[in-house]
Amino acid sequence: MAALGLGAITATAGEAAPSPQADTPGKPDPKAVIDPNSLGDLLTLPPIPEDLAEEAERIQAAYGKDDRFGAVAISDDRAELSLTWYGELPTDIVASPELAIVEAAVLPGDLRRAAQNLAGTEVAGVRVVGAGVNTDGSGIAVDVETSTSTSGRSARSQINEDLAADLADRTGVPVTVKEAPEVDASVGRHKDNLHLGGARITQFSNGYLYQSCSTGFSAQRYLDNAYGMLFAAHCGLIGSEWVRTEISEGGVLAYNYGLMVNRTLVRDSGIMTTDWSYPYVYVGDYESEQFIGVEAVASSYVVGMEICSSGSYSGLACGGKVTSLDYYVDYPESDIDNAKVAVIIDASGKPLWGNGDSGGPIFDLVQASTGLKRRAVGIVSGIYTTAATDASNCQGVPGVPAGVAGRHCSPNGFGAYAKESADIFGWRILTQSTP
C-alpha cells in the first residue's frame, strides 16, 4: 500500500502575497441559514432516531475505554443497535429487540493495542500503512503497501496469507491482510470573515502562500474562553500562520485567520486560535455562502452512521457510511503515524472528499421530535484508493488521475474524531446552545 500526503507540511513556495492584514469580523446573515430538514433528501438511509443515537452514546461513554468493549453499530433500517462485547455483560446492558449482543472472540482491548502498534511499522520488508479492528471482534485487518502486491492474484494471495500468519504470531491476535489501497491525507468557502466550519484557509509564511485546508468546527478553550477552529494536524505545524485570501486589482490580499496552537499526531487534529468564530458550518457547493447551525456534539462515530461532510474544495457531500472504528493509519508523506480514525465509505461510488478538504467538518443528522438535529462528529482526515478508484472523479474543484500531481478524491475516506480531539486539547466544540 503506497501512501501519499495530499498536502505536504513542507511545500514549495507558491504565490507571493503581502503580509496579512487584520480582518473585520463578519456577522452571520439569518437569510443564509438554511432549513436543516432540507438536507434529509441527501441521505441514502433513514436518519437515526435520537433515542437510539443517545443510547449508543451512553454505551460508548460508559464503556468505550473498557477492554471488553468492541463496538456499537446501528442497523441500516435504524431499528436496532448491536454491541460487540467480550465476556459477561455489565448489569446495565441487557439484550433486547432493540439491542443485539455480538460475542467477541478476542478481547477487543488487545485488538486495539495490536492495531495501533502495527500501523506504520515494517515487517519482513513490508510496510503496514493501516490496521483496524474488525467490528465483530474477530481480529484485526491490515493494509500493506501496494508494492508488495504487484504479482499475480494467486501469488499475492499467498504473500498475504504468509504475512498474516507472521503478524498473528507477532501480535498474538488473528490477522487478515487486505488488498492494499493507496492512502492520502486530504488537503485545501471563500472570503470567510465569519469563521465558520468548511471555510478555505491557506498557510502563509515568509511572504508566500502554501497549501490550503478547510476549517472544521468552531471551538472555545476552557481555560480562558479563547475562540478557535478545529482542523487537521497534517495541514501544518505548531505556530503555523493561516489566512483567508481575496483577489483584488492589486493581486492577492491575505487576511489574518488564525495561528495553530494545538496538534496531536495520534488523532490527526489540531486547533488554531481565532479572534472570533460562530457555531455554523457551510453547506451547498464549494462556492456556496449558505450554512447551518451546529446543534449538538456526538461523543464518537457509530458503525452504521451515515455522515455528511463539507470541505472547501468538494462542498457538501452526504451518503458516506461509517464501516469501522479503531482504525490506525500512517500517512508516510507527513509526520502522521498511528492516527486513530474511522473508516467511511460511500457504497454508491460517489466521492466523499479529496485534496483541499482536510480538516473540514463531518456531521450527522439524527431524527429528533423537532426535526433533523445536526451533530458535530468528526473532521476530514484522508482518503484511500484502490486500483478500481478513479481518483480524478471529484465533486467541486476538478481532480486529476492517480499518479498525476494535483487533486485526488475517493469514495473511501478516513475521519478524525471531533469531540475526542477537542477534549485532548482542553477545548469544547461550540453549538448554538453554548452559553
Model pLDDT, residue 422: 98
The topology (CATH level 3) of 3-40+184-429 is Thrombin, subunit H (2.40.10)
Give yes or no for residue 249 having a pLDDT over 60: no
Q: Kindly report, residue by residue over 2-56, the tens digit of the pLDDT.
A: 333 344 322 334 677 777 888 888 888 887 888 888 898 899 999 999 999 999 9
Highest mean pLDDT pick, 147-161, 265-279, 321-335: 265-279
Highest mean pLDDT pick, 156-160, 176-180, 304-308: 304-308
Check residues 22 and 199 and name the one with the higher pLDDT. Answer: 199
Q: Rounded mean pLDDT of 344-359?
A: 95
Check residues 371 and 247 and name the one with the higher pLDDT. Answer: 371
Which grid coordinates belong to 242? 493561516
Q: Rounded mean pLDDT of 330-338?
A: 84
Q: Rounded mean pLDDT of 252-277?
A: 94
Q: How confident is the model at residue 90 (pLDDT cuts 50, 70, 90)?
A: very high
Q: How confident is the model at residue 268 (pLDDT cuts 50, 70, 90)?
A: very high
Q: Rounded mean pLDDT of 426-434?
A: 94
Bridge partner residues of 151 (DSSP): none
Q: How confident is the model at residue 251 (pLDDT cuts 50, 70, 90)?
A: low
pTM: 0.90
Average pLDDT over the chain reads 88
Q: HSE of 349 in the Cβ direction (CA atoms, 13 Å)?
A: 7
Q: Rounded mean pLDDT of 416-433?
A: 96
Q: Rounded mean pLDDT of 247-267?
A: 85
Give yes or no for residue 1 having a pLDDT over 50: no
Q: Kindly report, residue by residue over 216-234, the tens digit of the pLDDT.
A: 999 999 999 999 999 999 9
Phi, psi of 385 (to 5 degrees): -125, 155
Model pLDDT, residue 247: 66
Model pLDDT, residue 146: 61
Model pLDDT, residue 94: 94
Model pLDDT, residue 12: 35
Model pLDDT, residue 114: 94
Model pLDDT, residue 191: 82
- 3-class SS string, the chain: CCEEECCCCCCCCCCECCCCECCCCCCCCHHHECCHHHHHHHCCCCCEEHHHHHHHHHHHHHHCCCCCEEEEEECCCCCCEEEEECCCCCCCCCCECCEEEEECCCCHHHHHHHHHHHCCCEECCEEEEEEEECCCCCCEEEEECHHHHCCCHHHHHHHHHHHHHHHHHHHCCCEEEECCCEEEECCCCCCCCCCCECCEEEEEECCEEEEEEECCEEEEECCCCCEEEEECHHHCCCCCEEEEEEEECCEEEEEEEEEEEEEECCCCEEEEEECCCCCEEECCCCCCCCEEECCEECCCCCECCEEEEEECCCEEEEEEEEEEEEEEECCCCCCCCCEEEEEEECCCCCCCEECCCCCCEEEEEEEECCEEEEEEEEEEEEEEECCCCCCCCCCCCCCCCCCCCCCCEECEEEEEEHHHHHHHHCEEECCCCCC
Domain residue spans in the chain? 3-40+184-429
Give yes or no for residue 279 having a pLDDT over 90: yes
